Amino acid sequence: MISLPNPTAKVTKMQFQVTEIEFDFDDAVDEFPEHQFSNITDETIGMIWEADDEDDLIEEITSATGWCIKSIDYRIILK
């Protein structure tokens, strides 16, 4: 018999604090002001994000900012 995951089980998200991040701004439109790149990066560093794992964290940040991530460092706040 195959054991399936319980769809009603509560999934506990982990909390991550971004300590360093580099976005892929290479495809940015020329009209995008340079200071906007710094603002996006500065606003992301230090934020607490809830995610299932590192892949989910990257997806959450990409979805929120609209930019792909080249590299990221973080610390886990809560498991």
The better pLDDT of the pair 46, 7 is held by 46
The better pLDDT of the pair 68, 11 is held by 68
Q: Across residues 19-28, what is the average pLDDT?
A: 89
Can you give the pLDDT at residue 27? 76
Rounded-to-integer distance, Cα 50 and Cα 39, Å: 21
pLDDT band with cut points at 50, 70 and 90 for residue 26: confident
Which residues are registered as beta bridge partners of 27? Answer: none
Can you give the pLDDT at residue 6? 62
Q: 18: which residues sit within 8 A by CB, 6+ positions away?
A: 44, 45, 46, 47, 49, 61, 72, 73, 74
